[in-house]
Amino acid sequence: MSPSRVLAPLPQLEATFKPDIFKGKVLFCTGGGSGICKAMTEAIMKYGAHAAIVGRKLDRLEASAKEMSQKTGQKCLPLQGDVRVPAQLQAAAKKTMDEFGRIDFVICGAAGNFLAPISGISENAFKTVIEIDTLGTYNTVKATLPYIRQSKGSYIHVSATRHYRGMQYQAHMSAAKAAVDATSQCIAVEEGPFGVRSNVIAPGPIGGTEGIERLSKKEADGSSVSYMTDDSPIPLGRIGSVEDIAAAAVFLFSPAAIWITGTVLVVDGGERHMSFDVLPYPRATLDPQSVKNMIAAKL
């Protein structure tokens, strides 16, 4: 009889960190209205910080801000803005300063992605992902840097692991996230003398997010293939949760990480070390039409 597989438990933040480690601090987060970035924002608010969340859909931001404030007892300011437009980010940063008087932490989390081969992706679609992920990160840093220098604060940039090796249908995202990683390293070097830290969190597959729905392999009926199986290719046995990424963010912003900067924290259960692909290879490359039912080509 073969032994049962051990699955990694979910993180227990309350048992790990003091409840007031971020008291008096303020977080500025792009993409904070949903998914991974919302989970990170809520976790940081639970430990005493106020927050401002920035995105294009004001109604979603307002609903998320209200929900997180009710859960944490902290203020959350919803601010409409497009990371591709520097003036809108500058205005959002100023509104945050007007409301709270400081910005201590910044999460650059706005992103866009879809599955498409190089031969099938348009120039405009490739450019759009670069604008959201790479230029959006740069624009967010530029808008907040004067305030982060004042507070001797810290950046977290949300990246990915797909660019660690060549991957089908992900040239656009791989290029964008590789640039984000490199930008964070430069920020760490240039801004370190001002007391500013900059790090990257690179999530693996995270359940319940738009990303996993769009990028997961599909069954014939269009449903996503589950990673939660005995033969899961993830060494720690389960798909990631938004709580896993939130725990990493709390750590990187906490005093425990005060001497960590310019690094990439991969949170993927070891998935990057396994050799498998989202789509069948080389069939997906040779015959894109044959895998059309597996692709949700949507920004």
Of the candidates 38, 46, 177, 218, the residue annotated as catalytic is 177
Of the candidates 159, 174, 198, 216, the residue annotated as catalytic is 159
> What's the chain look like in SS3?
CCCCCCCCCCCCHHHCCCCCCCCCCEEEEECCCCHHHHHHHHHHHHCCCEEEEEECCHHHHHHHHHHHHHHHCCCEEEEECCCCCHHHHHHHHHHHHHHHCCCCEEEECCCCCCCCCCCCCCHHHHHHHHHHHHHHHHHHHHHHHHHHHHHCCEEEEECCCHHHCCCCCCHHHHHHHHHHHHHHHHHHHHHHHHCCEEEEEEECCECCCHHHHHHCCECCCCCECCCCCCCCCCCCCCCECHHHHHHHHHHHHCHHHCCCCCCEEEECCCHHHCCCCCCCCCHHHHCHHHHHHHCCCCC
Verify whether residue 159 is a known catalytic residue. Answer: yes
Q: What distance in Å separates the CA atoms of residue 78 and residue 61, rounded to the nearest whole number?
A: 5
Verify whether residue 34 is a known catalytic residue. Answer: no
Known catalytic residues are 159, 177
